[in-house]
């Protein structure tokens, strides 16, 4: 018996599955971020094991394997009945009624012949071996996806179950509202298209990196966030590692606590970065695709710096900012990629068929593209707010375009030198400083030149005129601003000793 009861829209999904359970073998549940697809999976698993039947849940990412196991136990599924198919997770016990598997580990092994229900998370992520199991095994299959747009899905999933939409979840408060701003619209003429795993056709990453990694564009990203980001917890999506590293460096130079996360960042390091982000020590996580799924922290601003023509990528990444949180009014989205002009608002992207079952979605996609050209949002040339098509007066700043003026213009902005006005530090800024001072203390200790806790506290007090009461001691790599302050402190001390 589970500890939680399904919400209204989850009940709708359960009823839709139940009504067609005997008519189809494979189902695809299409529901956006915030719907509670993991709870739906737990609910179905609970019903199956109550009948003595066996369930396998397959996830494409290791973070989702861990997350699903934790959630299943929290929801009330018996932990002693959960086994794992992943080399690093124990116990591996094929006799248990619930099996949670890593997709990549599973397809390298022989698929068990005693599974009654297969649940595939992030079902749009293509794994050929898993698709063969879905096609040939004869068992019941439920795929879960917020973006079931991959062109092959209709070949493997017979019935699309769509209990709600992103627009509806926003309207009832299960997802956060958002505001779009488009401060930069890069010129992508000549950039080729290539196939990317999990996202379909999209821009060539090497060519994108050359365009997006320029000093002017990166400077625009940092400048815009400093002026308009309101110190909100932020994640930034980049093209590749070098692009992400450059943006992270520029934020740190500007005194903003930013950290980078990429595919080869070790799992323990990822958890530490996320922890510092949730504690406020880190203000911005700059990443390359790794936060597109399985990341549920409180995000109130998204910087989108990776141009895309993939609706899957667009919705997966923007969804990270649409989860609700206490005190969260809306999510600010800064699109530095021009993608809003190509793809439109995330909650306007909806399909009613799975591609591959017939050519229905291809026709639907082309007709929707023609419609979307007229329905794409327009940018206010005054404040860069993205207003709905057909809206004349900007609802954000009240600007009225001149008669005949083309509102859909290039939104790129020139760089200006940052103001030298006295900076007002927030508590988040002070936490970042304290964490960096503690990291410096740790580094000195490792070199055999320890510094006392009192030295750290006095260094902090020299900067802010107050003691670091109530701040977390979690260390964070010392950035240029803090290092320069510490260096000046040592120089001043040396001069005083010399004078004495």
- So what's the pLDDT on residue 416? 29
Residues lower than pLDDT 70 in the chain: 88, 183-184, 195-200, 213-216, 357-376, 381, 389-393, 400-427, 498-500
Q: Which of 81, 125, 90, 93 is nearest to 107 (CA)?
A: 125
- So what's the pLDDT on residue 285? 97
**pTM for the structure as a whole:** 0.70
- So what's the pLDDT on residue 423? 57
Q: What are phi and psi of 94, to 5 degrees?
A: -65, -10
Separation between Cα atoms, residue 11 and residue 161, nearest integer Å: 12
- Contact (CB, 8 A) for 176 and 170: yes
Cis before 91 (ω within 30): yes
Q: Which of 33, 36, 123, 30 is nearest to 318 (CA)?
A: 33
Which tokens is 64 given?
């989702």
Distances 198 to 119, 212, 311, 349 between C-alpha atoms, Å: 18, 22, 11, 18
DSSP, collapsed to helix, strand or coil, labels residue 335 as strand
Q: Which of 444, 379, 434, 443 is nearest to 412 (CA)?
A: 379
- Contact (CB, 8 A) for 40 and 29: yes
Separation between Cα atoms, residue 144 and residue 188, nearest integer Å: 33
- So what's the pLDDT on residue 193? 80
- So what's the pLDDT on residue 198? 62
């Amino acid at each position: 018996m589970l500890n939680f009861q399904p919400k209204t829209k989850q009940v709708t999904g359960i009823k839709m599955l139940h009504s067609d359970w005997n008519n189809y073998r494979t189902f695809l549940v299409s529901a956006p971020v915030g719907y509670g697809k993991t709870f739906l999976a737990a609910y179905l698993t609970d019903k199956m094991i109550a009948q003595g039947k066996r369930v396998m849940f397959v996830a494409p990412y290791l973070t989702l394997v861990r997350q699903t196991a934790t959630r299943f136990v929290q929801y009330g599924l018996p932990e002693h009945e959960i086994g794992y198919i992943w080399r690093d997770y124990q116990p591996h016990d094929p006799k248990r009624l619930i099996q949670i598997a890593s997709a990549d580990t599973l397809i390298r092994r022989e698929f068990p012949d005693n599974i009654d229900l297969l649940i595939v998370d992030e079902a749009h992520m293509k794994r050929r071996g898993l698709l063969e199991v879905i096609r040939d095994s004869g068992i019941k299959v439920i795929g879960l996806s917020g973006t079931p747009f991959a062109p092959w899905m209709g070949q493997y999933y017979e019935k699309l179950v769509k209990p709600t939409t992103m627009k509806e979840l926003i309207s009832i408060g299960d997802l956060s509202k958002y505001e779009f701003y488009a401060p930069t619209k890069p010129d992508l003429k000549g950039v080729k298209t290539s196939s990317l795993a999990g996202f379909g056709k999209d821009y060539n990453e090497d060519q994108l990196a050359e365009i997006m990694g320029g000093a002017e564009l990166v400077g625009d990203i940092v400048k815009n966030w400093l002026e308009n980001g309101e110190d909100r917890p932020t994640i930034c999506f980049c093209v590749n590692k070098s692009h992400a590293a450059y943006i992270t460096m520029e934020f740190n130079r500007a005194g903003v606590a930013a950290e980078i996360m990429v595919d080869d960042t070790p799992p323990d390091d990822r958890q530490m970065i996320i922890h510092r982000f949730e504690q406020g020590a880190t203000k911005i996580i700059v990443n390359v695709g790794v936060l597109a799924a399985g990341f549920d922290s409180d995000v109130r601003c998204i910087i989108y710096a990776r141009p895309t023509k993939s609706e899957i990528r667009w919705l997966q990444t923007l969804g990270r900012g649409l989860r609700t949180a206490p005190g969260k009014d809306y999510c600010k989205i800064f699109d530095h990629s021009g993608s809003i002009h190509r793809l439109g608002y995330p909650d306007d992207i909806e399909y009613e068929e799975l591609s591959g079952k017939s050519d229905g979605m291809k026709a639907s996609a082309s007709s929707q593209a023609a419609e979307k050209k007229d329905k794409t949002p327009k940018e206010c040339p005054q404040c860069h707010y993205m207003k709905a098509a057909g809206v004349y007066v900007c609802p954000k700043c009240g600007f009225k375009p001149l008669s005949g003026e083309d509102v859909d213009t290039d939104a790129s902005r020139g760089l200006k030198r940052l103001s030298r006005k006295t900076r007002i530090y927030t508590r988040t800024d002070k936490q970042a400083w304290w964490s960096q001072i503690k990291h410096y203390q740790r580094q000195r200790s490792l070199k055999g030149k320890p510094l006392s806790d009192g030295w750290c506290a006095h260094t902090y007090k020299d900067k802010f005129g107050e003691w670091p009461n109530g701040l977390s001691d979690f260390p964070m790599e010392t950035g240029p601003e803090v290092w320069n302050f510490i260096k000046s402190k040592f120089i001043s001390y040396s001069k005083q000793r010399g004078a004495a």
